[in-house]
Structure 1
Amino acid sequence: MTLRVPFWERSIGVRIIVLFLGMLLAVQLASFTALQASLSQHAHRVLPNQLREGERLLQSLLERKAGALVDGARLLAADYGFREAVSSNDADTIVSVLANHGARIGATEAALLGTDFALRASTAAHPNELVAVAHQLRDSAIAGQPSTIALVAGTPHQAVLVPVRAPLVVGWVLMAFPVDPHLGDDMRDLSGLGLTLVSRRSPDGPWRLSLTSLDAGRSAGLVGEKWPASAIDQPMTSVMAAGEELGVRVMPLGRPPAHGAAPDILALVSLSVDDAVRLPRDLQLALIGITLLAIGVFAVGSVFTARRVTTPLRALAAAAERLGAGDFETPMRGQRRHDEVGELSQAFERMRTRVAENQAQILRLAYWDSLTGLPNRARFREAVNDAIAERSTIAVVMLDLNRFKHVNDVLGYRIGDLLLIQVGQRLASHLVREGELVARLSGDEFGILLRVPHAALALSIAERIERAFDEPLALEEHRVDMRAAIGVACWPQHADDGDALLNRAELAMYAAKRRSSGPVLYAPSIDVASAQTLTLLTELREAVERGELRLYLQPKLALDDGRVIGAEALVRWQHRERGLVPPGEFIPFAEQTGFIRVLTLWVFEEAARHHRRLGAGAAELVLSVNLSTRDLLDPELPLKFAAVLARHRVPAEAFCFEITESAIMDDPARALAILDRLSEMGFQLSIDDFGTGYSSLAYLKRLPVDEIKIDQSFVRSMQSERDDATIVRSTIDLAHNLGLQVVAEGVESAEVWNMLRELGCDQAQGYHMGRPMPVDEFARFVERKPASLPAGARAVALTLH
């Protein structure tokens, strides 16, 4: 699939042109934006002043109109016939004169009020509105301001109030004139501002349009506003009307309303903010012309600059193609230039002269380990394949250092590096034939290619290499003991090709690591075992669920009279396809994966369940469960055991847990805390395989143990080996002096039995007394040899071995 590349990314020249023109447009746009912002700021600063001047103009127009209306009203008040009619209280004459005179001067409403401002005559359909207006004007008219704007018949009117004198004031004439409909046009012609009058009948009622010089859209937007009382004090209020921003000056007309309320009549003096900030058309044309001219000039300059840059770059690209093709002889052109392109050409020339040297260095880095100077995995694999291609009989020895990480952690990485270097040198000293080599395959893993005629010689060399590690490595002031797991595989005996040979040597190495018993020569069974362990965990889980595990018991007897005092329980796996699986095939795997916790709990559960079925004396038996490292790191272990005891109604005193020193070593603090809790619950503790560790006495002092179990490696040969007999005697004396019981395992003859009894050992276990047997068979065994000794002297040991 071909990706489409934008045209501006295909050429530096195009990008230069686009960049220059883009910068120009950006500058022009920034200038236009700044100008527009400046105009906007200027407009918002100047417009309130224009609106204020418009407000003054409107006041002047209204005052001029009011003066003319007052003069007309005074002519009527000074008319002799009108005054005589008022004096004679001739209502018909008064109404007639008011109507005729009002019509002549344009008044639509007229009324005569008494000196008490009570209505005496009116031409209005709603005379009460005129009376209310008269009361509004009363004080101001007396003070010489006889006019106002008021709502009459629902529309704004200019109202005037003048006295009737004969010669004293005998009444008042009120005349109302509709606001001049041309008032808005006059405002627009004189100032360019718009005028809109709005009114409402009640303080909460909607505003209604009374007069406007604006179009329908703008005027509708102004009428739709709320116009609170606070808007009156603002220099300018911005309003969106018909999609356009208007600046509005709010001017109340008529008498001031009650405190805090908006007036009933508003004059809205307005102008367009958008028009004020819009650039004049001639200025717009000038800017467009300047921009087009600049674009043309920049385009020509950009094309010239782009060509100056791209032409030498194309020459350098062609030179790079030649270098890529392996041509390191042709010199670079353009080195005489004194600009950046010249510097680039010189750099290319220096690169050309160094590439050949770098090629050799790269090959070395690809095939050799920089720390040890040995070949790496790639070179080792190549050498193995080359030897196979020559049809030579060869062997691959794979070696992995034990505890190398520990060396790094304790002594530091610098000492670890020195160790790897010395190991490589020590391994290389065993190469005697042409074509053999040592390689460092990974962190602490080495490989050795041997040209040997048969596997026996390869294994012999591997054993000699292992013995070479008997001598400690001297690393500055440190002397480090180092061991290694070694695997051996041969061609063509064990593999058809190099990769398979390396793989099988590695499998043999891992087998040696597991067995800890010296070099391992590859065998097909190693592959089978590897494949089987892939499914072993799943099969173990299914074995527990399907009930394939079996509990076997081996008798334990008191040495003083030979009576049965307990048994050691062993777990057996009755596989549905493979039959009885040896414990050595699944117990170590369970310990590695952590599944040993499940097996431990299963053994404890089964022992508790069968406790009362073991014979007449079963109620007094103490059952011991072997705990592994994984178990002692489980903080919930005491709670799990307590639940089993409660479920089967068995006391904690009926059990004893056997532990080994290795089970405590991983995390002594946590292990000891768990053991203390178990002891507090009433369980007994026993040290298993006593004498095989290196800190047994220290743990005898720290652990709350009740007994020790002498390892069978000492017991089995004590008849023939005096040293073993001495160890057993010393252990028994030590334990008794500490108040501990002693159990000897591995008793396989009457002679060993008699020797242990003479030495004062408490309990014995082994094939001489009985082999492991199912629970039912053991129950019958107990019935034949009843356990009648006092509680606390009998034990059943449950292990997983």
Structure 2
Amino acid sequence: MQRPAFLDLRRLEGRIVALFLGLLLLVQLGSVVLVNRSVQANAEASIDADLKTAGHRLERLLFQRVLRQHDIAVLLAADDGFRSAVGLMHQEAGTETLRDALANHAERVGAALVAFEDLEHRLVAGAGVQPGRFVGLAADLPEGAPAEGDSRLVLVDEKPYQLVRVPVRAPGPLGAVLMGFALDEDVLADLKGLTNVDALLLVRGGGPWRKPLSLEADKAPMLMEQAAQAEMGQNQARRLNLPDGDERRGRLFDLRVRGAASGVQLSALLTASVSEAIGPYNSLRWTLLALTLAGVVAFAIGSVVTARRISGPIGALARSAERLGRGDYDCPVQAPRNLGEVSELAQAFETMRQGIKAREADVHRLAFWDPLTDLPNRAQFVERLRTWLREHPQERMAVLMLDLDRFKHVNDVLGHAVGDQLLQRVAERLQAQAGSRNLLARLGGDEFALLFEGAAASQALGLAREMAQGFERPLSIGEQTIDVSAGIGIALFPDHARDADALLGHAELAMYAAKRGQHGVLLYDPAMDEGSQQSLGLLTELRRAVEQEELRLFLQPKLDLHTREVHSAEALVRWQHPTRGLVPPGLFIPFAEQTGFVRQLTAWVLRASARFAVEAEALGCPLRISVNLSTRDLLDAELPDKIRTMLQQEGARPEQLCLEITESAIMDDPARALATTEQLHAMGFRLAIDDFGTGYSSLAYLKNLPVQELKIDQSFVMAMEREADDRKIVRSTIDLAHNLGLAVVAEGIETATALALLAHWGCDEAQGYHLAKPMPAGQLPGWWQAWRAPEFRDSALGPLTTT
């Protein structure tokens, strides 16, 4: 006679029944023995974990509290009325106004102390509890926002306070505001609400434990006595038995205190009730026992029925899983009815199949379509382009690449939402012009590309110009009317390239060339690629030039037209390339400015100039070296500190250097440029405006800048002998500079007549090829000793002296 399947351990049904019943009996028998033992241990472990967490929560609450206090102090330091009170203190030699302001603010924000100290951390005025004592405790308290975890606690008369210090500037530093806030029961109440742990703040050391703060005033003495008897230390949990039968576990958590006496420590005694923790476990034990008895009976019957109902559908689910593993997401998974978890498992398989199928479709769309414009993206465009090239190797084709002008400005001014709408409208207009046959794609950002099938150069240029003309019609987005334009580059197949990547690269080069030259539409030319590769190679090698000492310092002397002596020179940089030879500065400096590498070049020139000035002075050739600062240099807030450090390292003085600033550098950010130049002027540097007359600067900025020198651009000087207008500009500039108290330097002197004219008009210094060409720095001392100034007389000028 064949045994039933649920009794056959070789069958799935038998194994399910035997396993489930055996495990249930084993677990329940073991739980009877272990549950009583583990309830107590688990409750205590849970309390210990809660106490440990509560200590960190308390520390975090104190840190958040001191952050809010710091924000209050920042508002006070920035308050115009308060800074006026500080100013009146200096003007009227009194502190009453300041003390009243401090008292009013302390009352308004609930501070126990508000004090103002000078730059030497001496008390100037204060209001509240013992200002002098708090200032002494805060001697090493840092200014500004507290670091993570720094609660800034101090003890005054065994009472805890939190201190913050904020500097006061108007605009220079005047002193600092010191604020103290008494620690109250609100912190303990917040901790109780967050962790259900009671806390008692106490002072240890130097005698019996003292209680400064507690929510349980009646139990605080007993808790401190129990904790002291248990010799509880930092991070040690102990059992505390109170006389009223309240069993607790306690833990000490030491708090960091500034300026506390030796051996004195502010600690938090954290306690939690063991009875409350064990209560839920008692009901759980009775519930578990009842469930065990009912479960053994019901499980014996239910496991047999369940095992029979599981074995059949599981086979069907296994076959469905195999289909999903093979990538077949079209065949639905049939869910058996009324099978509980098995039905849910079948439904989960079906949900998984549908989800995977939907995600496959989404991934495919995200991989090949642009979600904003609903156009093909770069990946699809490249794939379609490669497919077209494989299938039509003998046909002509053009790739047009388009990039919008000033699109970043639209995003910055009108917002990204308007920018997105603009891209959608542009996509619609381009799609209408391109037609349904040609593939239009958005490559990314504001770049679009078009695959123009069967197009020769004339047809591609015609369509590109039509697209460019289409941008002459403004786009209306909501209430905004936006004028946009674009640069379009064209690459032809097979004329310019035969593979997709090269065609896209050539079209992109032509597009950027069209944008730089504002041509609108430009056909690719191989010269574009050669120029960009050469520039990229130079920039790559330039990054190594400083480290490999390939840069050379050249100097061009400047003649003092009053004494006819050379007292200064302009610093110029040359690149001695190991294979290219001497690289002209016009080839690498513009690219250095574009990439930001010009800061490293300026630092090198400043250091080399300072070193040369020191060496030349030691040789009896004292010269002031002029160094040009770029726009990026002038807008660097750390520039004064960097130059100060460099001078200290080279042993040079500020008066040995003159820093030249271009007009464009000033106009990019006048306020920031003014702040930097004022710092450099205060350090003792001579400052000069370079290339004056070629920019767009305002005379108001020229009046306010702390400069001592003005350089007339050589474009005016070189043409003044033959152009009356240039003579008027040069002479007027000299008069203007002198009226403003500035010295004048003219560059580009190539003839004796130009030199005589400048001397006649009262120009202070001159430089140019007529006097000396730029020379390596090492040659200048010898040249300086042997050089004699040329003669120039006013009588030889004739009518040129009249403007």
TM-score by structure 2 length?
0.51
In the alignment, the residues of structure 2 paired with residue 563 and residue 470 of structure 1 have an alpha-carbon distance, to the nearest angstrom, of 60
1:365–1:658 distance in 2 versus 1, CA, 3 Å: same
1:305 aligns with 2:311: no
Give the structure 1 partner of residue 660 of structure 2: 658
Deviation of 1:441 (Å):
1.6
In the alignment, the residues of structure 1 paired with residue 502 and residue 18 of structure 2 have an alpha-carbon distance, to the nearest angstrom, of 61
1:415 aligns with 2:404: no
Contact 1:400 1:484 in 2 (8 A): yes
Give the structure 2 partner of residue 542 of structure 1: 547
In the alignment, the residues of structure 1 paired with residue 308 and residue 374 of structure 2 have an alpha-carbon distance, to the nearest angstrom, of 52
Contact 1:399 1:484 in 2 (8 A): yes
Give the structure 1 partner of residue 444 of structure 2: 442
Give the structure 2 partner of residue 699 of structure 1: 701
Deviation of 1:631 (Å):
3.6
1:364–1:759 distance in 2 versus 1, CA, 3 Å: farther
Deviation of 1:27 (Å):
3.0
Contact 2:654 2:683 in 1 (8 A): yes
Task: Kindly report the root-mean-square deviation, in angstroms, between the aligned alpha carbons of the 2 structures.
Answer: 5.5
What SS class does the counterpart of residue 552 from structure 1 fall into? Answer: strand
Give the structure 1 partner of residue 383 of structure 2: 382
Contact 1:486 1:508 in 2 (8 A): yes
Q: In the TM superposition, what are the counterparts of 1:295-694 in structure 2 within 5 Å?
A: 298=299, 301-315=302-316, 318=319, 333=334, 364-389=365-390, 390-391=392-393, 392-400=395-403, 404=407, 407-425=410-428, 427-428=430-431, 431=434, 435-451=437-453, 474-478=476-480, 489-506=491-508, 521=525, 523-526=528-531, 528-529=533-534, 532=537, 535-544=540-549, 548-556=550-558, 566-591=568-593, 595-611=597-613, 621-632=623-634, 637-638=639-640, 641=643, 651-663=653-665, 671-694=673-696
Deviation of 1:440 (Å):
1.6
Contact 1:368 1:375 in 2 (8 A): yes
Asked which structure has the greater RCO (Cα within 8 Å, sep 6+), the reply is 1
In the alignment, the residues of structure 1 paired with residue 756 and residue 426 of structure 2 have an alpha-carbon distance, to the nearest angstrom, of 52
Deviation of 1:373 (Å):
2.4
Contact 2:708 2:742 in 1 (8 A): yes
In the alignment, the residues of structure 2 paired with residue 466 and residue 488 of structure 1 have an alpha-carbon distance, to the nearest angstrom, of 13
In the alignment, the residues of structure 2 paired with residue 462 and residue 370 of structure 1 have an alpha-carbon distance, to the nearest angstrom, of 25
Q: In the TM superposition, what are the counterparts of 1:63-212 in structure 2 within 5 Å?
A: none
Contact 2:623 2:656 in 1 (8 A): yes
What SS class does the counterpart of residue 386 from structure 1 fall into? Answer: helix
In the alignment, the residues of structure 2 paired with residue 503 and residue 528 of structure 1 have an alpha-carbon distance, to the nearest angstrom, of 12
Contact 2:506 2:529 in 1 (8 A): no
Contact 2:313 2:336 in 1 (8 A): no
Contact 1:543 1:575 in 2 (8 A): no
1:653–1:319 distance in 2 versus 1, CA, 3 Å: closer
Contact 2:613 2:622 in 1 (8 A): no
Which amino acid letter does the alignment assign opposite residue 389 of structure 2? I
1:462–1:353 distance in 2 versus 1, CA, 3 Å: same
Report the more deviating stretch, 552-561 or 571-580. Answer: 552-561
In the alignment, the residues of structure 2 paired with residue 608 and residue 517 of structure 1 have an alpha-carbon distance, to the nearest angstrom, of 45
Identity of aligned residues (%): 51
In the alignment, the residues of structure 2 paired with residue 649 and residue 296 of structure 1 have an alpha-carbon distance, to the nearest angstrom, of 96
Contact 1:615 1:780 in 2 (8 A): no
Contact 1:397 1:447 in 2 (8 A): yes
Contact 1:690 1:696 in 2 (8 A): no
Deviation of 1:552 (Å):
2.2
In the alignment, the residues of structure 2 paired with residue 464 and residue 744 of structure 1 have an alpha-carbon distance, to the nearest angstrom, of 50
1:741 aligns with 2:743: yes
Deviation of 1:570 (Å):
1.5
Contact 2:509 2:529 in 1 (8 A): no
Give the structure 2 partner of residue 48 of structure 1: none
What SS class does the counterpart of residue 501 from structure 2 fall into? Answer: helix
Deviation of 1:526 (Å):
4.8
Which amino acid letter does the alignment assign opposite residue 384 of structure 2? A
Deviation of 1:550 (Å):
2.1
Which amino acid letter does the alignment assign opposite residue 416 of structure 1? G
Contact 1:396 1:448 in 2 (8 A): yes
Unaligned runs of 5+ residues in structure 2 are 1-11, 40-291, 793-803
Deviation of 1:495 (Å):
3.8
What SS class does the counterpart of residue 543 from structure 1 fall into? Answer: coil
**Per-residue Cα deviation, 1:452-491 (whole angstroms, up to 9, x for no partner):** 7666986787688678778776544446676767665444
Report the more deviating stretch, 464-473 or 734-743. Answer: 464-473
What SS class does the counterpart of residue 548 from structure 2 fall into? Answer: helix
Contact 1:13 1:307 in 2 (8 A): no
Q: In the TM superposition, what are the counterparts of 1:751-770 in structure 2 within 5 Å?
A: 763-767=765-769, 770=772
In the alignment, the residues of structure 1 paired with residue 14 and residue 448 of structure 2 have an alpha-carbon distance, to the nearest angstrom, of 56
1:652–1:358 distance in 2 versus 1, CA, 3 Å: closer
Contact 1:564 1:785 in 2 (8 A): no
Deviation of 1:376 (Å):
0.7
Deviation of 1:707 (Å):
2.7
**Per-residue Cα deviation, 1:397-441 (whole angstroms, up to 9, x for no partner):** 445556655644543321221232244345556647x75443222
Give the structure 2 partner of residue 30 of structure 1: 31
Deviation of 1:659 (Å):
1.5
Contact 1:563 1:787 in 2 (8 A): no
In the alignment, the residues of structure 2 paired with residue 742 and residue 387 of structure 1 have an alpha-carbon distance, to the nearest angstrom, of 66
Which amino acid letter does the alignment assign opposite residue 450 of structure 2? I
Which amino acid letter does the alignment assign opposite residue 602 of structure 1? W
Mark the structure with the bigger radius of gyration.
1
Unaligned runs of 5+ residues in structure 1 are 1-10, 39-290, 790-801
**Per-residue Cα deviation, 1:168-195 (whole angstroms, up to 9, x for no partner):** xxxxxxxxxxxxxxxxxxxxxxxxxxxx
In the alignment, the residues of structure 2 paired with residue 350 and residue 681 of structure 1 have an alpha-carbon distance, to the nearest angstrom, of 73
Give the structure 2 partner of residue 118 of structure 1: none
Which amino acid letter does the alignment assign opposite residue 414 of structure 1? A
Give the structure 2 partner of residue 251 of structure 1: none
What SS class does the counterpart of residue 574 from structure 1 fall into? Answer: strand
1:353–1:540 distance in 2 versus 1, CA, 3 Å: closer
Deviation of 1:626 (Å):
0.9
Give the structure 1 partner of residue 78 of structure 2: none
In the alignment, the residues of structure 2 paired with residue 494 and residue 681 of structure 1 have an alpha-carbon distance, to the nearest angstrom, of 58
Q: In the TM superposition, what are the counterparts of 1:244-323 in structure 2 within 5 Å?
A: 298=299, 301-315=302-316, 318=319
Give the structure 2 partner of residue 226 of structure 1: none
What SS class does the counterpart of residue 553 from structure 1 fall into? Answer: strand
In the alignment, the residues of structure 2 paired with residue 35 and residue 463 of structure 1 have an alpha-carbon distance, to the nearest angstrom, of 88
Which amino acid letter does the alignment assign opposite residue 684 of structure 2? G
Deviation of 1:317 (Å):
5.3
What SS class does the counterpart of residue 741 from structure 2 fall into? Answer: coil
Name the count of aligned residue pairs.
524
In the alignment, the residues of structure 1 paired with residue 645 and residue 352 of structure 2 have an alpha-carbon distance, to the nearest angstrom, of 77
In the alignment, the residues of structure 2 paired with residue 13 and residue 461 of structure 1 have an alpha-carbon distance, to the nearest angstrom, of 78
Deviation of 1:525 (Å):
2.0
1:786 aligns with 2:798: no
Contact 2:400 2:491 in 1 (8 A): yes
